[in-house]
Amino acid sequence: MIKEFVLDGIVLYEAKHFDAKDILTCGQVFRYFDNGSHYSVISLDKKCDIVKEGDKIRLVTDDGEYFNRYFDLDVSYGAVIERLKGLPFMEEATENGKGIRILKQDPFETVVSFIISANNHIPRIKGIIERLCVSLGEKKDGYYAFPTAERLAGVDAKFYSDLGAGYRAEYLARTAADIAGGFPLDKINELDSESANKKLCTLIGVGPKVADCILLFGYARQDVFPVDTWIKKVYADIFSEGARSPKEIRRALIATYGELSGYAQQYLFYNKRG
């Protein structure tokens, strides 16, 4: 892939491993929109339009450096896939999702988003988060920014309940207050992934799976393996057995995919869920 910074963003050439649909619909992010002709994605207070122009892809944004990092453009996914091939199910999964990239998202936005994701459908998750941004986020040109922790801490559980958050309303209110009150999200990177997972689990509404999602999508950790209902199905496919605990499944899958677990997990999730 060849990358060129231009005035209105970034242009990608020969981008075999960059596909907007693969990246945005593989369950790692919820603030994206299919505009028919192109996709848009919002991260914090920044927006990026992903426009196909023949064999080129134009990332239209006023902050190219931010989205260069966000889309993980300095990592060769061709090299990642080469390393993954040969491991169980990776031949098919990396071909089916060859345009996937793992986004480097904002940790706070990731915490809030994945608290909402728990035991929930992706279309509904998208809706709750969007209503959250419209009601509490700063208004920008044609969209709304993700609200700050202070803004989220300024409303009560009933507010989140009225947004349709269900029983996660209490979790959101308490965790927003915790983070606005000084919970050290900025020090998570000083911890190894197991310790970081435990630390994140002290947030109300964050359990082992959500903590792994936060580490993978918000802190770019690859040595984690979020186990949800889809990964349980994948596990049954790979090992021909089911009904083991998420903890055991996680350990077995990390043993299989090692330091590439995060990548493998995402290809497997996308391949299974479709």
Partner DNA sequence: GGCCAGGGTAGAA
Partner DNA sequence: TTCTACCATGGC
The catalytic residues are 209
How far apart CA 184 and CA 252 sit, in angstroms, is 30
Q: How far is the CB of 29 from DNA (least distance, A)?
A: 9
Q: Terminal CA-to-CA distance of the chain, rounded, Å?
A: 25
Q: How far is the CB of 131 from DNA (least distance, A)?
A: 10
Q: Decide if residue 222 touches DNA (CB under 7 A).
A: no
Q: Which residues contact 12 (CB under 8 A, 6 or more apart)?
A: 1, 2, 3, 4, 18, 56, 57, 58, 59, 73
Q: Which residues contact 95 (CB under 8 A, 6 or more apart)?
A: none
Stretch that binds DNA, among 1-9, 54-62, 130-138, 266-274 (CB under 7 A): 266-274
How far apart CA 23 and CA 27 sit, in angstroms, is 8
Stretch that binds DNA, among 34-42, 76-84, 152-160, 221-229 (CB under 7 A): 221-229
Contact 235, 139 (CB under 8 A): no
Stretch that binds DNA, among 8-16, 43-51, 142-150, 197-205 (CB under 7 A): 197-205
Q: Which of 2, 37, 121, 240 binds DNA (CB under 7 A)?
A: 121
Q: Decide if residue 213 touches DNA (CB under 7 A).
A: yes
* Contact mark string toward DNA, 157..186, x via CB under 7 A: ----x--x-xx---x---------------
Let me know how long the chain is. 274
Planar angle of CA 42, 210, 264, nearest 5 degrees: 80
Binding site for DNA (CB under 7 A): 26-28, 114, 117-125, 127, 161, 164, 166-167, 171, 201, 203-211, 213, 226-231, 245, 247, 265-266, 269, 273
